[in-house]
Structure 1
């Protein structure tokens, strides 16, 4: 049987490991704590507990790197859910809680650390790039700017030419672009943190009214995050100013580009 480690003991170790940039400080205690939390919600054997400790140790470095995206107030919830995801993938069991709710993965990482990226996701991402290349160059550039899509050399060259033509400072543009991406990541990180918080509270709560309130709050934060993701990276006005074209022309290019992508059979922008 694994030893018991309390929350109030593990959190200072996490803070110390972060401040010293040394995850080895808690490499012995953290997997045990995670499996103990897992065992409180899942009927697992002692053998399974030991296997889970080994599994977590195998992916410890990647897990630790992912955890740095979370504020210290949310990071325990991250580790708890990470343990559940690893358990699910290790033993391939789909379990439903007594309330009948499936426990959902709602974190910034999209896949378990010990699994390869499904080939269909790679194929859809590649298909998006292939379809983007079929579009008229300016249409492709407008789409790339609105959805912050990866640009190939022809789009990058057109963008540079347009920026020079409209009198924009190239260095300032790319610096502001990096800052814009950083702010977007911060916003999504904060929203994901709130989803994490209420996911954890919902899972741990037992009183029906409290669970109902936590579920409502979680849905609100999921909606806010969805809206943030769906919001244009560059607005129509910004794109028009960057490229020296009218907003009507921008809308026409967006309409044409989205129509062509939909003809490919799926909403490929979902994979951007």
Structure 2
């Protein structure tokens, strides 16, 4: 596996971002031990440009990312701010965790993709960095031909898997550009890795027994109603009103009362006749 000069630059920048003493690019390359001591491969090094390769973020740098959540995007613009044109400017991306020596960022912990300008997205092939961290593989990103003052735009999309170790609570990232004369530029920051909160299980609602369906009323025709209604009882004559207790209620009593009246009347007539005779 050959590690490019850009990968060495990325490793140096990442380490410096994490406040670790990391030496200059050439020394960092030598530390890797995987590439030639001389990045030029024995060829005369091109004259060093005066100025810089400027790498700027096109929006506010992301500062947090959720494990297993949505990816964060890092759109950057690479501008040739030197005094001459470049035929090949090598962009690169590095990721790492340098705050805890007991844990390292692994290839399985992240997923990265990229696009140039408004082009389509591509998965970014990654490899372990020179010392620690992760960088893109050689040839995974296109070389950029930039004339004096010209720019190119790249966007990186970074995602962290849900199974990332809890010790990896921060991830440092760096987007870089390096010329063949080792003039380089970079922009980067640190992502705080958030853990999704476990979903709280709400108590199961009390189930209400299903209501007994009401009986559906059945339409009854007049004929059915007449047949189903019980026959009315024959009407009875109203009971005679009770007579006031002013007279007899039986024939015998009536005759006795009449006889007594006649007797009283006869006695009265006799009394009157006697009085008249005596006169």
TMscore range, shorter length:
under 0.3
Greater relative contact order (CA < 8 Å, ≥ 6 in sequence): 2
Considering fraction of residues, name the structure with more strand. 2
Considering fraction of residues, name the structure with more helix. 1
Higher Rg: 2
- TM-score normalized by structure 2? 0.17
